[in-house]
Structure 1
Amino acid sequence: MGSDDAVRSPLPSLRARAATTAAGWRSGYWFVLALLVVTYGLCAIQDTSNPSPPAFLVQLVTVAVVLRVTRVHRRVQRVAWVILAVAGVAAIITTALGTEGQLLDVALSTASMVAFFIAPVAIIRHQVQRRGLDIEALLAATAAYVLVGMFFTLVYNLVALLTASPAFGDDVVDSLSSQLFFSFTTLTTTGYGNIVPVSAGVQAIAVAEAITGQLFLITAVARIMRGSRGPAYEPAAVPRAEEQS
């Protein structure tokens, strides 16, 4: 046999990679990220600490999509969807009736905080059993990271709703927009310094968020490095002398 027949072609590996990339985009994590962008925008335009019912509805849809994408057990999905549906209908009714008050704001903020705690946990649980670096792993890590930032944003929001004194001092408007900005600058340890927590409780939350952000990045990088090991395709087989004769 000739040497050309003994050399393995890299085309099967390239096709497998293309199929894996396509499967990653079909996984649904891109849709989760799109919903998170919408949620971020709705929160960023809030000039008060009062949660936005439209943003709350988008958050519920986001969690429902996460539970679907991460293939949570069907029974758990059904229970979660019933709870999310009830919360969504309640938010629509209160918005239509023009209901306002601190109790409603606290309820919306708490429900959103719990939802954004469940979502990244579900993503991490789904991805921890997978191996290999692909589009799905990158999209999932990004979505979970953003969800963690949104979770801490809602923690700051709930603290602001439950306490009388401003969380960031008198010079900063204690709004959902400023809470969102502070949360992500703390999560990424950017720390511009224009917004600083003044109470010991909020400072402790900020420290916990910074540590969480660093631990998340360390584990995400380790996950990526583990998945990127190995050759892009199997090395070509070198024909033996007797096979060439």
Structure 2
Amino acid sequence: MTAPAPRRPGAVADNRLLDRFDLVLLLVLAVIVSQALLDTRGSVWGSFVTHATTGLALVVATRASGARRRVRRALDVLVALTVVSNVVLLLSSGGRPVSPDDLQPEGVWLGAAVALPVIIGRRLLEHPVVRVQTVLGAVAAYLQIAVAYATLFQTVDGLTATHFFGAQVSTTAYTYFSLTTISTVGYGDLVPATDLARLAATSEAVVGQVFLVTFVALIVSRFAAGPGRGARRARDDAEHADDAEHADD
């Protein structure tokens, strides 16, 4: 039997979603698909579907990662307020296109989107034995970095005088550009137009590759080594802790 990963203080004891990173990965993929196909700038329906999917992914991911109760509650409030505001806007407009200024700004998701890979990564490092869920969690965290950068690009576009790409584009372009940047494909059809935009784009390429060659590679190599190595490591850590306790006595 494999030793379960330790729970952090403040984690709910009956949290059924703890370590369910398969669900997290599926939801992150759903977020990418919705953001890549639905323009949230000119369609209230697109904004509602995208924000609802993103909110659900964030809520499930924080629970799977064993986040503290206050973190989960804060995120629940953020998601609820954003989704409800989109529902009100949807009902009041009758589904017709509205002004971009009336839609929920993507910046409200930026903090949560950036923090999520960190929360997932911390939980994965607590796994004494690398399992399938650990690998799926690492992949989900990597893809969430692309989602976070897509949100960052759109936020930069809205806060600066010059558009991110020099002209206004569909919001789907940010997800497309983020995925091609983090994978270092770089088709060249979209090019950042300002110094800040170029800095943001290049930082994603660097962060994505560093994450792959360090964190994901470490997780996969430990998984390939088999459960015996992880079990021995967990047993050695327990023995070291007992020795330290006896030494203090």
Q: Which bin holds the TM-score, normalised by the shorter protein?
A: 0.7 to 0.9
Asked if 1:222 is matched to 2:218, the reply is: yes
Deviations 1:98-142 (A, max 9, x none): 29444444x430122222123212101111222333211111011
> Among residues 202, 205, 208, which one is paired with 1:207 in the alignment?
202
Farther off after superposition, 184-193 or 126-135: 126-135
What's the counterpart of residue 46 of structure 1?
38
Asked if 1:111 is matched to 2:103, the reply is: no
**Paired positions, count:** 211
Letter in 1 for 2:54: Q
What's the counterpart of residue 62 of structure 1?
57
Gap runs ≥5 in structure 2: 6-16, 232-249
Deviations 1:155-204 (A, max 9, x none): 1112223345442245xx62222211110111111212222212111100
What's the counterpart of residue 96 of structure 1?
91
- The answer to whether the Cα contact below 8 Å between 1:48 and 1:174 also exists between their aligned partners in 2 is no
Letter in 2 for 1:122: I
Give distance in 2, aligned partners of 1:126 and 1:160: 33
Letter in 1 for 2:92: L
Letter in 1 for 2:72: Q
Kindly state the Cα deviation for residue 154 of structure 1 after the two structures are TM-superposed: 0.9
Letter in 1 for 2:26: A
* Bigger relative CO (Cα 8 Å, ≥ 6 apart): 1
Say if 1:57 and 1:214 are closer, same or farther in 2 by CA, change over 3 A.
same
Give distance in 1, aligned partners of 2:160 and 2:87: 27
The DSSP-based 3-state class of the residue aligned with 2:106 is helix
Give distance in 2, aligned partners of 1:142 and 1:230: 19
Gap runs ≥5 in structure 1: 1-15, 235-245
What's the counterpart of residue 152 of structure 1?
149
Give distance in 2, aligned partners of 1:174 and 1:190: 20
Q: Which one has a bigger Cα radius of gyration?
A: 1
Aligned-residue CA RMSD (Å): 2.9
Farther off after superposition, 150-159 or 32-41: 32-41
Give distance in 2, aligned partners of 1:138 and 1:230: 13
- The answer to whether the Cα contact below 8 Å between 1:49 and 1:161 also exists between their aligned partners in 2 is no
Asked if 1:141 is matched to 2:104, the reply is: no
Give distance in 2, aligned partners of 1:35 and 1:223: 21
> Among residues 25, 37, 40, which one is paired with 1:33 in the alignment?
25
Letter in 2 for 1:86: L
- The answer to whether the Cα contact below 8 Å between 1:57 and 1:91 also exists between their aligned partners in 2 is no
